[in-house]
Amino acid sequence: MKKESICVQGGWQPTKGEPRQVPIYQSTTFKYDSSEQMARLFDLEESGYFYTRLQNPTNDAVAAKIAALEGGVGCVLTSSGQAANFFAVFNICEAGDHLITSNNIYGGTFNLFGVTMRKMGIECTFVDPEWSDERIEAEFRPNTKCFFGETISNPGCTVFDIERFAKMAHRHGVPLLVDNTFATPINCHPFEWGADIVVHSTTKYMDGHAAQVGGAIVDSGNFDWEAHADKFPGLCAPDESYHGLTYTKAFGKMAYITKCTAQLMRDLGAVPSPQNTFILNLGLESLHLRVAQHCRNAKALAEFLKGDERVAWVRYSDLEGDKYHALQQKYLPNGSCGVVAFGLKGSREDAIRFMDSLKLISIVTHVADARSCVLHPASHTHRQLSDEQLRAAGVDPSLIRLSVGIEDVDDLLADLKQALALI
């Protein structure tokens, strides 16, 4: 199936008499006839459902759709994008380990890696993707376990050179993890460029209606853990909490995803409710249509902003002349996403007056939604950071993040124009 068909029909193929729509298995548990049968499930000798924290048929059907959309071998859904990023890294890193990340990443991920995981004994080095290969490669250590970046960064809207960083990570025997939330699998397939693991906040375009918070981790199945067995004992050495089972030996290409479910989900429990997963799936059914309209609208608004004298700068990689246009044409030839970053001339107060004057476009702590919205990271999501820290996180203090929805483009343009006229 092509990706448009996967959006609509992937993951759930009912047979005779089964519901056409993915059913919501709103049940914590599943019944078996003998204790022996249950025991085989607990020992991972047989696959089947027994408790929703580990696996649930609704979650599995939608995970299979997302795996197919990304071209991966397996997917696990989580209760948020934050949980997905945490699990994706924690599945291969433990106390005493180290990871490297692009500094152009979402603020929540910046805190997760830089503050919270540090408290767990996992160190993180933030690098500027603009640095030379030599300078970035100098940051790899013997205990480095992965490299992380966002295809299109939130909120900076920079484009990550996936192929370059995949090659670099592989030279050092570690996988590349890519957060593909903004691009979605409609516009970019990171696995085709060498990424090994893809993560998503499904809260954004995949849902698209601001109706549920969720996340997903997809494995390409391509990284050869056994070739670097000393680096990844969690996958390549016996797991004492599963009677000495070794994930790579027992599950091959499914080792990473199986460990993520069987160990991390079992012990940490950030599982989405089947009800939310059902809502996510409704969003996925129209993802291909919405993403195209988001991109059309965003390009028109970005072009308008670029030509307005009150606007200091615009970052939208689909604009000719944008610093990231060449990378966008390589990785996202059909369009980037609906998010435009720009700055106004004038003060922070002017930016605030502009946003407060918008009518159709609302101020919300959200992004990648059918409804257009706007946010000023320096006064909202990143308030706790100084201007200097903002810049270190790849966020210009003047940056306004405009998330362009799927409304009529002329209505959106009219709203921008009337608000600009007031500053």
Ligand X SMILES: *Cc1c(COP(=O)(O)O)cnc(C)c1O
**What residues make contact with ligand X under the rule CB under 6 A?**
80-82, 85, 106, 108-109, 150, 154, 179, 181, 201, 203-204, 213, 215
- Bridge partners, 29 (sequence order): 51
Residue 331 near residue 195, CB atoms below 8 Å:
no
Q: Would you call 290 exposed, middle or buried from its count of C-beta atoms within 10 A (0-12, 13-18, 19+)?
A: buried
CA Rg value for the chain: 22
Q: Can you tell me the distance from the alpha carbon of 377 to that of 394, in angstroms, rounded to the nearest whole number?
A: 11
Smaller CB separation from ligand X, 204 or 294 = 204
- Residues 31/247, Cβ–Cβ less than 8 Å: no
Minimum CB distance to ligand X smaller for 167 or for 366: 366
Cα first-last separation, the chain: 50
Q: Which residues pair with 384 in a beta bridge?
A: none
∠ at Cα 109 (285, 319), nearest 5°?
A: 65
Q: Which is nearer to ligand X, 168 or 217 (by Cβ)?
A: 217
Closest to ligand X by CB, 180 or 220: 180
Helices (H) and strands (E) in the chain, counts: 19, 12
Could you give the CA distance from residue 40 to residue 45 in angstroms, rounded to a whole number?
A: 5
Q: Whole-number minimum distance, CB 109 to ligand X, in Å?
A: 5
Nearer to ligand X, 97 or 207 (CB): 207
The DSSP annotation for 27-91 comes to -SB---S-HHHHHHHHTTSS---SBTTT--HHHHHHHHHHHHHHT-SEEEEESSHHHHHHHHHHT
SS3 20: coil
Closest distance between ligand X and the C-beta of residue 155, in Å? Answer: 8
List of residues 6+ apart from 122 with CB closer than 8 A? 89, 90, 93, 94, 95, 96, 97, 98, 99
Give residue 200's Cα distance to chain centre.
3
Q: Of 194 and 215, which CB lies nearer to ligand X in the complex structure? A: 215
At closest approach, how far in Å is the CB of 181 from ligand X?
A: 4
Give 83 or 378: the residue with its C-beta nearer to ligand X.
Answer: 83
- Min dist CB 321 to ligand X, Å, is 25
User: Least distance from C-beta 83 to ligand X, angstroms?
Assistant: 7
Q: How far is the CB of 264 from ligand X (least distance, A)?
A: 16
For ligand X, the nearest residue by Cβ is 81
For ligand X, give the closer residue by CB, 144 or 212. Answer: 212
Least separation in angstroms between residue 32's CB and ligand X is: 34
Pairing, β 373-375 against β 362-363? parallel
Kindly tell me which of 58 and 203 has the beta carbon lying closer to ligand X. Answer: 203
> Which distant-in-sequence residues (6+ apart) come within 8 Å of 261 by Cβ?
54, 55, 76
CB of 375 to ligand X, least distance (A): 11
For the CB of residue 199, give the shortest distance to ligand X in the complex, in Å. Answer: 7
CA–CA distance, 360 with 373 (Å, rounded to integer) = 8
